[in-house]
Amino acid sequence: MKVDPISSALHRRAGSHGPVVLMYHSVETTVGAPAWPWAVSKRRFGAQLDFLKDEGYATPTMAELAAYAHPPSGRTAVITFDDGYLNNLAACEALHARGMRATWFVVTGSLGREPTWPDDGRPAGRLLNARELREMQAAGMEVGSHTVNHARLPTLDDEAMERELCDSRSALEDVLGAAVSSFAYPYGAWDARCASAVRNAGYAVACTTRTGWALRDGNPYSVRRLTVFNHDSTSSLARKLYFGSHDVAWPEVARYALRRLRA
């Protein structure tokens, strides 16, 4: 999928604000755009990976980004997946074939079986199981936590929140035989109490669903992400990478151009 000339011209200046983190959920083999807003087609996902690779983006894991003493200077995009749906195996294969890596935030209470949290149109079927997660880790992917039950952390008392954070981390470390240091807040729901609990549970970094440059807030427990939706083409992804925003529809681009002209 080619990038249109305007998006391509904008993207030439992308990367100057530091790393971005992309958020995916589901990769489906449908023809056309999937119905679920947080799903992308396998064809579009492959085209988006090709674009990132062709444009020179490094794709470290979330743990690697958090461990850098200073933000990397080159184009950097951390690719993340929330929940851990079975169809993510195709995404893992596509990444591995291109020498790229990603981080998966999985819900440990539903490993290998259908999710237990409320259905909002998400993919049918089970989540990834322990063997599949180990195989993904062996392929260079990172596995992080998304709680035990996909819980809205701000609604929990301190004891319940600690269980969600610590039990999920322990379960993953037992499965993987390695330390787990990355976390993503389910539903993007968090506050200062949650961030403190995540830190106390032993995580080094936590991802939100707030948009913007990944490290804009200077806080490893409030990392921002750019969501890739079902309607996103390679061109709209290029614009997101330039603007660091979801507001990249053509009317918004036109308003931006007008502001630049006036300035």
pLDDT digits (tens, 9 = 90+) for 180-204: 999 999 999 999 999 999 999 999 9
- pLDDT above 90 for 148: yes
Domain span at residue 117 reads: 5-262
- Rg of the Cα atoms in the chain: 18
Other C-beta atoms within 10 Å of 42: how many?
17
- pLDDT above 80 for 15: yes
SS3 166: helix
Q: How far apart are CA 252 and CA 57, in angstroms?
A: 25
- pLDDT in the model for residue 13: 94
Q: What is the largest CA-CA distance in the chain?
A: 58
Q: How far apart are CA 262 and CA 161, in angstroms?
A: 50
- pLDDT in the model for residue 32: 85
What total of structural domains would you count in the chain?
1
Q: How far apart are CA 201 and CA 217, in angstroms?
A: 21
Q: What's the order of all strands across the beta sheet hosting 205-207?
A: 205-207, 182-184, 142-145, 103-106, 77-83, 20-24, 226-227
Domain CATH for 168: 3.20.20.370
- pLDDT in the model for residue 243: 96
